[in-house]
A = this chain, B = another copy of it.
Amino acid sequence: MTVTVTELQQKGAGARRASRRLGFLSTEIKNEALLGTAQALTQRRAEILAANRADYEQARESGLSESMLDRMLLDPERLDAVAADVRAVIALPDPVGEVIEARTLPNGLEIARVRVPLGVIGAIFESRPNVTIDISSLALKSGNAVILRGGKEAIRTNIALAALAREAQSAAGVPEGALQLIEDTDRALVAEMLTMKDTIDLLIPRGGAALIEHVRDQAAMPVVAGGVGVCHTYVHASANRAKAIAVVDNAKRRRVSICNALDTVLVDRAIAGEFLPELGRRWSQAGVDMRCDTAAEEILQAAGVLVTPAAPSDFGTEFLALVAAIRVVDSLDEALEHLDRYGSGHSEAIITEDYSAAERFLREVDAAAVYVNASTQFTDGGQYGLGSEVGISTQKMHARGPMGLRELTSYKWIIRGTGQVRP
């Protein structure tokens, strides 16, 4: 199981060749390939779970952390969820060929902006093997070829999943080469992949901040990255307390290891005295480590809740754990300044019953997703109706927020004339 740089380049050339035909592939063929994949995920369950079990045992022996082990683990339910996501992609409209706008110019030229695939998508990801199926499904439906490079801890699982998807594609008539998996985890291959700008049109890194930073710095081709979310919820003076408790608690505790989870609660001084003790007691019971500024600490201590004084670095940190920073602010202005300084442009929320405060927050906060009276954990392609997602962009260029099918496309201008020349 060793892949040389030459073989990687051959995989790249194969993906590029396939991509030339993928853009004209009928929706029927693409959906048939996806249906075959969904069915095989169920029918070949034993084979996939055996590969995953082998990965898991080896990863555990090598001392992988519990949270990483949990992420890489597949079981029948998780596999069914992956298959359900593939069926969701089948149900989505085909983005390729969509006429974004069209009109007839005064000189009679008929001009249209038509959606087309990007070409070849590269993805570099860690641990979660479902990404192999998620990204390859979205890429196929949007007419793109993919080159996948998953983490070494799940290599057997990824090989089994890619093989199954590739067979389903082949049976449906998808051009060979559309789905490339780098079946080796040598780091030199990632370095090579980052240089292949003539082969890969868009690179998507999914994983920890270090991986994303490395890819963004080194890649020769465009990268859409995100995933790192320092997410705030601001409890405004006029907040409904019950809504505030429920939303803040959900934003932190529903799942802690995902990028849209709450990191910092900002509480308006006017409501801190009634809001914080209730939140503090709940979080204390739930084992949330609360890193408080002086004002929050005083209120919570007076209410008998044990907290930790916040270090300056706690603000602006993505915890991905049962930890939250808490700060008392004097006003919406101060909350907006805090977001401007510490936010990562991912997901931010305000809890308020004040119309003007809500509208101002929506307008002025510069983030991919801005919420009023809702949990930041809603930031997700599935929740937004995009089907599964290839990632959540915190960039402003090309795509922002959850990236589904449309976000894997470009467009071209097509112009039908009758002999027009430009004066």
Contact = CB atoms under 8 A, between A and B. Distances in A.
A60 interface: no
B369 A413 contact: yes
A378 B374 CA distance: 48
Among the interface residues A396, A397, A415, which one has the most CB atoms of the partner chain B within 10 A?
A: A415
B412 A400 contact: yes
Nearest to A119: B396
Interface in A23-46: 23-24
Interface residues of A, number: 61
Given A24-B363, A109-B378, A411 B400 contact: yes
B374 A396 contact: no
A239 B410 CA distance: 30
Interface in A216-266: 222, 240, 242-243, 246-247, 249-250, 254
Contact of A410 (B222, B379, B400, B422): B400
Contacts of A242: 419
A195 interface: no
B250 A202 contact: no
B420 A374 contact: yes
A417 interface: yes
16 contacts: A23-B363, A105-B385, A109-B374, A109-B378, A116-B396, A201-B397, A247-B420, A247-B421, A369-B412, A369-B413, A370-B412, A370-B415, A371-B415, A371-B417, A375-B420, A397-B397
Given A105-B385, A378-B420, 10 more contacts: A23-B366, A105-B384, A118-B396, A242-B419, A247-B417, A370-B413, A370-B414, A371-B415, A374-B415, A375-B420
